[in-house]
A and B are shown apart, each in its own frame.
Chain A
Amino acid sequence: MSRVTRIVDPRAVPIALGYLPVAFAFGLAAVSLHTPAWFPILLSFFVYAGASQFAALHLVATGSPTLTVILAVWLINLRMALESVSFFRRVHWPRPPRALALWLTDETFVAASLGPAPEHWEFLRMAWLPYAVWVAGTVLGALLGAILPNLLKDAFGISIDALFITLLVSTVRDNPRTVWAALAGGAATVLTSPLGGWSLLLGMVLGALVHLAIPDARREAQP
């Protein structure tokens, strides 16, 4: 093992490279939506969950109630509990290093789930670089956002919607039946729009419940 690979697991490098432009776009979008620069930086530092950070940014910018923003982030990040359950059923770490769960993301979860179950120091070598790059990219985007022309910042504002679409397509591609959850979530949001900021939360919950109500054909086909 070389000196570099003793510090960084090679699997961390493509994850970090992928995070950098997304984090930069997040910092830039936040400033273009007129939030203070510290807001996206603190979100990246303490929350470290891409899709939910973009959602929080969008909801803050559109004036949604504070409770709606918080609950929406929790709902979007519910899947992390599932990933954490799956991951920690494989590994057998002592209790203190289990705090590394805070650096479990969709990508590090997938990378760490391939091959034999990692020891905690192996996971640490894989997880610290993507986290550092995510925070650094956000700082860079937020700081540069203050000096970039408004024209460019306006253009980047659209990138949030694009990211929502790309994340949705990726989700549906992994699990095609979730398209019903997305459609039901969208429809429920429109139908409950007279309720203001709460319509988003209702859309999420109703969309997920519709998905649950649709029979799972694969499971029923099992003997």
Chain B
Amino acid sequence: MSSVRLLVIVGATAVGTALLRYLPALFATRPAPHRLERLLQAVPAAALGALLTQSAPTALPPGHPLTLTLALAAALVLAVRPGGVLWPVAGAVAVAATGLLLHWT
């Protein structure tokens, strides 16, 4: 992996994200139009759907066809439980433990 490429990614994403946070702080005098608000609300879900579709096939380790299924099941079960940011963390840890177990067996 080229260091220059990674630095470009860090720089560009940092500047873009800073502008997204800071510019509204300077110019937020009117609410966003309703359609824009709905579009912005949908982007994270669309992004996650796209990311999962792209990454799921590569997340399946060869020789362990159950890993992804179990990982998805554990994450989903934990995610639907109520209670703030700790549940996604618990989901990630559970999935990592499942992956570890399947690598060992």
Contact = CB atoms under 8 A, between A and B. Distances in A.
A13 interface: no
Question: Is chain A's binding surface mostly helix, strand, loop or mixed?
Answer: helix
Q: In the complex, which range does the number of interface residues on chain B fall in?
A: 35 or more
Contacts of A199: 50, 54
A78 B21 contact: no
Interface string A33-68: 011100100110011110110011010101000100
A52 B49 contact: no
Nearest to B8: A66
Contact of A208 (B14, B43, B93): B43
Contact of B51 (A60, A200, A208): A200
Interface of A: 14-15, 17-19, 21-22, 25, 34-36, 39, 42-43, 46-49, 51-52, 55-56, 58, 60, 62, 66, 69-70, 72-82, 84-89, 95, 98-99, 101-102, 104, 107, 151-152, 154-173, 175, 178-179, 181-190, 193, 199-200, 203-212, 216, 219
Given A51-B48, A87-B25, A98-B26, 9 more contacts: A25-B92, A49-B17, A56-B9, A66-B8, A157-B99, A165-B91, A171-B45, A187-B53, A212-B35
14 contacts: A14-B84, A36-B1, A62-B54, A81-B40, A157-B59, A158-B99, A159-B96, A161-B95, A175-B45, A178-B41, A182-B48, A200-B50, A208-B43, A212-B38
